[in-house]
Amino acid sequence: MIEFSTVSKVFPDGTRAVDDFSLVIPSRKTTVFVGSSGCGKTTLLRMINRMVEPSAGTISIDGDDIAGQPPVQLRRRIGYVMQNSGLLPHFTVAENIATVPVLQGENRKKARTRALELMETVGLDTAMANRYPSQLSGGQQQRVGVA
Ligand SMILES: Nc1ncnc2c1ncn2[C@@H]1O[C@H](COP(=O)(O)OP(=O)(O)O)[C@@H](O)[C@H]1O
Ligand SMILES: [Mg+2]
C-alpha cells in the first residue's frame, strides 16, 4: 500500500505542482493516474521514489514513511516499465534484465539464469539474450523492460 497524506509540492520557481493531495493506493490492485496535462501526475510519481521531495506532507509504503529510507534502497525495491523502454543501451538484453540483482550482490551466473527465465515469462526468445536494445523492435524492448 502506498499512501499520500496531505502532500504538496512547490518548485523553486514558485510553481505549485501538487496541492494538499491525499490518496491510498492499495496493494495488488491496478491503479491508474489520469488527469489533464500539467496537473501533477509525474510530480506525484517522482515523489514515490524520492526523485522529487515533497514540500509538505508524507508518503508511506506499507506504513513506513519513505522520507527516512535511503533513496537507493528504496528505488531498488520499485519496478519500473518505461514507455520509451528505458534500457541501458550498452548492456545486452540479459544484462539489462539482471541489472538490479547484480547491483544487490547476486552472482552473475545466477542472475543470468534468472534473466533467461524471465525472458521466457514475457514471451521473448532467449536467442535474443546477447543482443543490444537497438537490435530489438519497440515491443520487444518493452518486454525486456517488463522482465
Ligand atoms: N522542475 C520543475 N520546476 C517548475 N515547475 C515544474 C517542474 N516540473 C514540473 N513543473 C510544473 O508542475 C506542474 C505539474 O507537472 P507534471 O507533474 O509534470 O504534470 P503531469 O505529469 O500531470 O502532466 C506543471 O505546471 C509543470 O509545468
Ligand atoms: Mg507527466
Query: What's 66's domain CATH number?
Result: 3.40.50.300
For residue 48, being part of any structural domain is answered with: yes
Q: Among the atoms of ligand 1, which is closest to the Cα of residue 16?
A: 12
What is the spatial distance between Cα 71 and Cα 139, in angstroms, rounded to a whole number?
30
Is the CB of 35 within 6 Å of ligand 1? Answer: yes
Residue nearest to atom 20 of ligand 1 (CA): 38
Q: Is residue 119 part of a domain?
A: yes
Regarding whether 67 and 105 lie in a shared domain, the answer is no
Ligand 1 pocket residue status of 15, Cβ below 6 Å: yes
14 and 66 both lie in a single domain: yes
Are 101 and 137 members of one domain? yes
Asked whether residue 67 falls in the same domain as residue 26, the answer is: yes
Distance of CA 62 to the CA centre of its chain: 17
Asked, for residue 88, whether it belongs to a domain, the answer is no
64 shares its domain with 120: no
Least Cα distance to 75 among 105, 103, 54, 98 occurs for 103
What is the predicted pLDDT for the residue at 40?
A: 95
Residue nearest to atom 24 of ligand 1 (CA): 38
Model pLDDT, residue 104: 87
Count of domains observed in the chain = 2
Say yes or no: 9 and 66 in one domain.
yes
Q: Render pLDDT for 35-90 as a digit per residue (tens, 0 to 9).
A: 999 999 999 999 999 999 999 999 999 999 999 999 999 998 898 877 677 899 99
Domain coverage including residue 9: 2-76
* Between 100 and 89, residue with greater pLDDT: 89
Query: Does the Cβ of 36 fall within 6 Å of ligand 1?
Result: no
Average pLDDT, the chain: 94
Whether residues 114 and 53 share a domain: the answer is no
Q: What pLDDT, on a 0 to 100 scale, did the predictor assign at position 49?
A: 95
Task: Say yes or no: 117 and 72 in one domain.
Answer: no
CB atoms within 10 A of CB 20: 11
Cβ of 38 less than 6 Å from ligand 1 = yes
